[in-house]
Structure 1
């Protein structure tokens, strides 16, 4: 049963939400403060986290950044504001999805199911394993055919973006929006240049497929060593 950590200071939310998501095969644990949530993440295994933006001690954006520095756990952010800029900031910091409050519990369940499903092949240590390549989101390293590959921060973010949803086609504009903040001068043409650089560094593998007038997708097959392959 997937374990979900809810970090939200609304004490009245946790118990009824836990009872609801249990019907869909999830076990939910609530932490009322960011410090308690971080402690739980370090001590126990969770499959996904739900973060409220408005929190005591620190806001959800700072908490998202702190979690992403230590873990690749899927995260869904909640906010009462629902502003587009909040959504963009949350996604840039590493959140996987975003849901404005008030929300329908069934929609939250659907989003949890989606982020867990689309994370791609993950080994028990959180690494993404493909034939000839292993990506470690926590240490931000890439091994190609058992050799370490040195990538820039933006090259790594692009590879990780494609690897989390292997086979899915990402358009240039979508890649551009998701990678802003990693390289401030990115523009549409720069996405093609970035892909070209990444391909050269990953040779002799041919990991990125180009779909004309559509975008790019990861072309590698999940490794049989992965439990989700």
Structure 2
């Protein structure tokens, strides 16, 4: 699962970002200042940091410089200042991106996804391997050992998406948007039906993965540990 570190002394910002990031399937680590953030990084492997500039004890610029010396991860700075000098200061400190408060959480999510793709490009976006199971988006086949399985289109796309983002929790709304599109006029039960069918198909064929329900949130695909 992708870990995102949020560093901000405003509890409302921490809560807001925690909600939106969890909905997208990310795991969130929180820190109220730079000192807490560095302590968190000693204990947790984080894939990206979102850092407020104006904080007590250590500002976001200094924290960014400290992180850059020890870790290789993308950083987004949040600030209430929009002057070009402040942006220049941020990039000189080593940030990858810069977002001015107030901001739309969706825009932050877009920037997070773009930076994660840049830092961690997939080796082959069309192929997912889970143990002895291979899911091939080029041929739309699922291979389990020497057995080949063809699925209805939406079932395949749902399985591929969950497998490509294993251990990430996705809400039903997010899955509908990804698989059926923004113009889809059905309801969330469509996701439940397709998940049920996938479970019924694969529960007796393989233990390489299972699709779990996260109550009150949505679904995740859990891959068997080798």
TM-score by length of 2: 0.52
Query: Which residue does 1:98 correspond to in 2?
Result: 98
Deviations 1:35-60 (A, max 9, x none): 11001011111110011000100211
Relative to structure 1, is the Cα distance of residues 63 and 122 closer, same or farther in structure 2, using a 3 angstrom cutoff? farther
Structure 2 CA distance for aligned equivalents of residues 119 and 106 of structure 1: 20
The 5 A counterparts of 1:2-151 are: 2-120=2-120
Unaligned 5+ runs, structure 2: 124-226
Relative to structure 1, is the Cα distance of residues 122 and 92 closer, same or farther in structure 2, using a 3 angstrom cutoff? farther
After TM superposition, the runs of 4+ consecutive aligned structure 1 residues lying more than 3 A away are 120-123
Structure 1 CA distance for aligned equivalents of residues 27 and 120 of structure 2: 21
Deviation at 1:98, TM superposition (A): 0.4
Q: Which has the larger radius of gyration?
A: 2
Structure 1 CA distance for aligned equivalents of residues 99 and 62 of structure 2: 17
Deviation at 1:120, TM superposition (A): 4.9
Structure 2 CA distance for aligned equivalents of residues 66 and 7 of structure 1: 14
TM-score by length of 1: 0.51
The 5 A counterparts of 1:209-228 are: none
Unaligned 5+ runs, structure 1: 124-229
For the 8 Å contact 1:14–1:29, the answer to whether it is kept is: no
Deviation at 1:66, TM superposition (A): 0.8
Structure 2 CA distance for aligned equivalents of residues 90 and 16 of structure 1: 23
SS of the equivalent of 2:18 reads helix
Relative to structure 1, is the Cα distance of residues 57 and 71 closer, same or farther in structure 2, using a 3 angstrom cutoff? same
Provide the aligned C-alpha RMSD in A: 1.7
Count of matched residue pairs: 123
